[in-house]
Structure 1
Amino acid sequence: MTKVNTVLGTIPAEELGLVAIHEHIGYGMPGSELDSKWWKTPEQAYEETVPKLRTFHENGGGTFVDATGICNGRDIDYYKSLSRKTGVNIVACTGFVGGDTALPHFARATVDYLARVFIHEITVGIGDTGSKAGIIKVGVSRGGRMTELDKRIYRAAARAAVVTGVPVLTHLAIDPEPAIAIFREEGLPLDRVLFGHADDGLNAASTPSEMIMGEGGRIGFDTFGYETELPDPPFWARPRKDRMDHFIDLVGKGYLDQLLVSADANCSPLGWPGVKGHTVNYIFEVLIPDMRTNGIGDAQLKAIFEENPADFLAIQA
């Protein structure tokens, strides 16, 4: 039986249910908690977050993967409280959203040191919470090309993934060639890597999704709901039909088993206002009906939201 680390303990992968593979309880840039313009009390954050997670659970959602890395507002004791209160499994990550979000202590560290940090958080626990990370987050820094720090973090993540058996989730799938080379050098099979944000309006055109999947990697269509049709769309928005047509095209080409889907919504943003009206429940309210309208059947939906994530998240040590 395969297992997955959640903040409340290790559970069988078969118990994950429907999985939102790339979401955030509360994401912010390092230092945002010091900006009084955006201060929130714990009660305010709780009030914003609990109804969203409860609705997710009531709609049939089983597991919420929090892709908030070290230095970006990760709060494991808070996640544990939310999980107990709402019934949603929460998977926390170790790693960094990108090298440009790593504070100097980590940015100056060696690959070996970073790998040890990741391995400790996966096998022993995050701080003194007793909760183990279930996934490793890495990312391409702003600018669209992997920096030397990004490459160090990717290499450390690959080493930790090989040792622990947990998978790697990337922020952006642009400039993937250096990442693929690092993963291969470190002996990490590419089916243990989800190359994220392959669908967003800013980067989709320059993301070689089919090349990545041809090499064995997985692709994240995980910005569903960030649409140009929104009253105040973010800069990474994309026309709703354009994104769906792209997804359906890849399904039609036989890539269903390598595609994972999410809304990348922020339950209670830290240091920025977030995107109004966009929550993890876009998956149920809009996305699944849209997929059905576009010919995605029940068996395919089960693969997209249950089977593919369970296979990806399962510890393979």
Structure 2
Amino acid sequence: MSKVNTVLGPVPAEELDIVAIHEHIGYGMPGSELDTQWWKTPEQAYEETVPKLRAFREYGGRTFVEATGICNGRDVDYYKSLSATTGVHIVACTGFVGGNTALPYFAEASVDYLTKLFIHEITVGIGNTGAKAGVIKVGVSRGGRMTELDKKIYRAAARAASQTGVAILTHLAIDPEPAIAIFNEEGMDLDRVLFGHADDGPNAPITPHQRILDAGGRLGFDTFGYETELPDPPFWARPRKERFDHFMSIVNDGHLDKLLASADANCSPLGWPGVKGHTVNYIFEQLIPDLREAGMPQSDIDRLFVHNPAQFLAIQN
């Protein structure tokens, strides 16, 4: 039986149930803990986060993929406490949101070192937490093009994924050609890569969605809920109907098996105010009702939120 690493131990992929594939317990840029205006005490973060995860569980959500990488506020002991308290499976990641978030110690490391680091966190554990990472996070640095550091991290991620059998999810999909080339060079099956944030406002028009699908990759429509209709929308917001229609056009083109969806919400942002009115539970409160109204059968909704994520996250070894 295939399994997935969660912070409380391995879980059969068949027991993940509804999965939020790209979310955050708490995300911030390196150094955000020094910002006294926005930094929260552990108690404040806990009070903000637990009700959201409990609501997620009550709606039927079971698994929360925590996509905060090394240097961005990852706190695995905290995740373990939250998982035990709420009954939500939390999948932690190794890797980096983007090269620009890797502190110098990691940015100056070799591909070999990073590969060994990722493998250790997947097979032995993250620090002394006893928890193993269940997915590798990589990304595109600010500016919209993969830097040499990004490419180094992608290569290390491909090698670690190939040796451990875990999947890779990306932050942004707007410069996929270098990634596709690296993955091909390293013998990485593109079906094991989720090209994320393919739907956000600034990047969706310049993301080569069909190229990614043709190469065998998966597409993450994982910023649902960041809408221009919000009272104070972020710069990556997008009109609700535009994003939904874009998503449905790819579904209707026959690519449902290659799609995963999420909200990229931040339960308790670190070092910044976050986006008011947006939580992981947009999935249940708005997205799934919209899908039903559009005529999507329950079997396809299950494919999107249960079967596709389970297949993607299951360790392949």
**Residue 39 of structure 1, CA deviation:** 2.1
> Which residue number corresponds to residue 180 of structure 1?
180
Aligned residues with identical type, % of pairs: 78
1:195-218, CA deviations, whole angstroms, 9 ceiling, x for partnerless residues? 000000110000011110111100
**Residue 104 of structure 1, CA deviation:** 0.1
> Which residue number corresponds to residue 303 of structure 2?
303
> Which residue number corresponds to residue 316 of structure 2?
316
> Which residue number corresponds to residue 162 of structure 2?
162
Q: Distance in 2 between matches of 1:177 and 1:295?
A: 35
> Which residue number corresponds to residue 107 of structure 1?
107
> Which residue number corresponds to residue 20 of structure 1?
20
Q: Distance in 2 between matches of 1:295 and 1:234?
A: 30
Q: Which amino acid aligns with 1:216?
A: G
Q: Which amino acid aligns with 1:230?
A: L
> Which residue number corresponds to residue 260 of structure 1?
260
Q: Distance in 1 between matches of 2:80 and 2:193?
A: 26
* 1:103-142 mapped onto 2 (5 Å cutoff): 103-142=103-142
**Residue 154 of structure 1, CA deviation:** 0.2
Matched residue SS, 1:224: coil
Q: Which amino acid aligns with 1:204?
A: A
Instruction: Determine if the alignment matches structure 1 residue 8 to structure 2 residue 8.
Output: yes
Matched residue SS, 2:254: coil
Matched residue SS, 1:301: helix
**Residue 102 of structure 1, CA deviation:** 0.1
Q: Distance in 2 between matches of 1:18 and 1:11?
A: 14
Structure 1 runs of 4+ with >2 Å offset: none
Matched residue SS, 2:10: strand
Q: Distance in 2 between matches of 1:233 and 1:197?
A: 16
> Which residue number corresponds to residue 48 of structure 1?
48
**Residue 247 of structure 1, CA deviation:** 0.6
Matched residue SS, 1:197: coil
Q: Distance in 2 between matches of 1:293 and 1:202?
A: 27
> Which residue number corresponds to residue 65 of structure 2?
65
Q: Distance in 1 between matches of 2:295 and 2:261?
A: 16
**Residue 6 of structure 1, CA deviation:** 0.1
Q: Distance in 1 between matches of 2:199 and 2:255?
A: 15
* TM-score, length basis structure 2: 1.00
Do the aligned partners of 2:230 and 2:277 also contact (CA within 8 Å) in 1? Answer: no
Matched residue SS, 1:38: coil
Matched residue SS, 2:227: coil
Q: Distance in 1 between matches of 2:39 and 2:255?
A: 43
Matched residue SS, 2:22: strand
> Which residue number corresponds to residue 202 of structure 2?
202
Instruction: Determine if the alignment matches structure 1 residue 39 to structure 2 residue 39.
Output: yes
Matched residue SS, 1:255: helix
**Residue 38 of structure 1, CA deviation:** 1.4
Q: Distance in 1 between matches of 2:47 and 2:187?
A: 44
Matched residue SS, 1:37: coil
> Which residue number corresponds to residue 230 of structure 2?
230
Matched residue SS, 2:235: coil
**Residue 37 of structure 1, CA deviation:** 1.1
Q: Distance in 2 between matches of 1:232 and 1:76?
A: 31
Q: Distance in 2 between matches of 1:230 and 1:304?
A: 25
RMSD over aligned Cα atoms: 0.4
Do the aligned partners of 2:94 and 2:118 also contact (CA within 8 Å) in 1? Answer: yes
Q: What residue ranges of structure 2 are gaps of 5+ in the alignment? A: none
